[in-house]
Amino acid sequence: MTKFIGTGVALITPFNADLSIDFDALERLVEYNIANGTDYLVISGTTGESVTVTSEEKKELIAFISKINNGRLPLVLGIGGNNTMSVIEEIKSTDFSTIDGILSVTPYYSKPTQEGIYQHFKAISAIAPKPIILYNVPGRTASNMSPETTLRLAKDFDNIVAVKEAGNNVHQYLELLRSKPKGFLILSGDDDLALGVTLAGGSGVISVIGQALPKEFSEMIRLGIARRAKEAYDIHFKLMPITALIFSENNPSGIKAVLSALNISKPDVRLPLVKATDLLKSKIESELKVLGKS
């Protein structure tokens, strides 16, 4: 699945001050990423505030991004949840004509066993019309998908082609890389670990900070894939402070503050999230000056 190698970005959903979707800002964001080296776009992930976007708004986002993208980059759509039947129904009712893959998070809140996680994705695999990228983010779901379960799914179902691993657990990454079947992609969901994972044999990243600094971040990952570690780490070290800053309060408030400072979109988020504090915005603006971005 070469479409998902490199740098994917988990797009924010830009809002106006009244919290309606800011489609002008979304167009700017998509064009900015296409022009600056991003390899694929992810719609309706956690960073897109998927839990507070309505089903009708999600359809509007898919249609709008698909129109602006116009086939230039692969598109991945987030569809997941802790009600397996509802996930299946959403997949069945979605138009995938412009979509290249499905990003599906492990069931949250319910805290299923490893067998429950396996059976959940087995049921989704049986009806999915597009390749599936598993998404493990235990810090949000309260349930870690073990490497054994991930690899079992990878070996048992041909349409499960990758995992976005976001446990911030180096040992877990290495176990996946050591034992994965040929062709199965290990994608970093941790921006701070993305380069190290790529150099160890991973296939890239689905990034948050990458959408604000796509030229630099995607070049870093390309260098990592090419095993040009010194050059890649030169970029990594420059991006470390801004990467840490965007996750210091909550995601996506941090990345929205960065995009606001870059005049791409506004900093507004929907409750229960709140906008970045003035202190964080000040730190972000200072770091962008260091990077020569303002």
Catalytically annotated residues: 135, 164
Question: What 3-state class would DSSP assign to 21?
Answer: strand
Query: What b/e readout covers 259-280, taking b as 16+ CB neighbours within 10 angstroms?
Result: bbbbebbbbbbeeebebbeeeb
Q: Which residue has the tokens 């598109």?
A: 75
| Cβ atoms of 257 and 250 closer than 8 Å | no
Q: Give Cα separations from 274 to 70, 176, 198, 254, 281 (angstroms).
A: 33, 35, 33, 10, 13
| Cβ atoms of 128 and 159 closer than 8 Å | yes
Nearest alpha-carbon partner for 284 in 233, 213, 236, 220: 213
What is the Cα–Cα distance from 256 to 170, expressed in whole angstroms? 27
Q: Which residue has the tokens 């598993």?
A: 134
What is the Cα–Cα distance from 213 to 76, expressed in whole angstroms? 20
The DSSP letter of residue 120 is: H
What is the Cα–Cα distance from 168 to 294, expressed in whole angstroms? 30
Where residue 168 falls (left for φ over 0; alpha for ψ -120 to 50; beta otherwise) is left
Nearest alpha-carbon partner for 268 in 7, 111, 55, 52: 52
Angle between helices 84-93 and 114-127 (to 10 degrees): 20
| Cβ atoms of 144 and 138 closer than 8 Å | yes
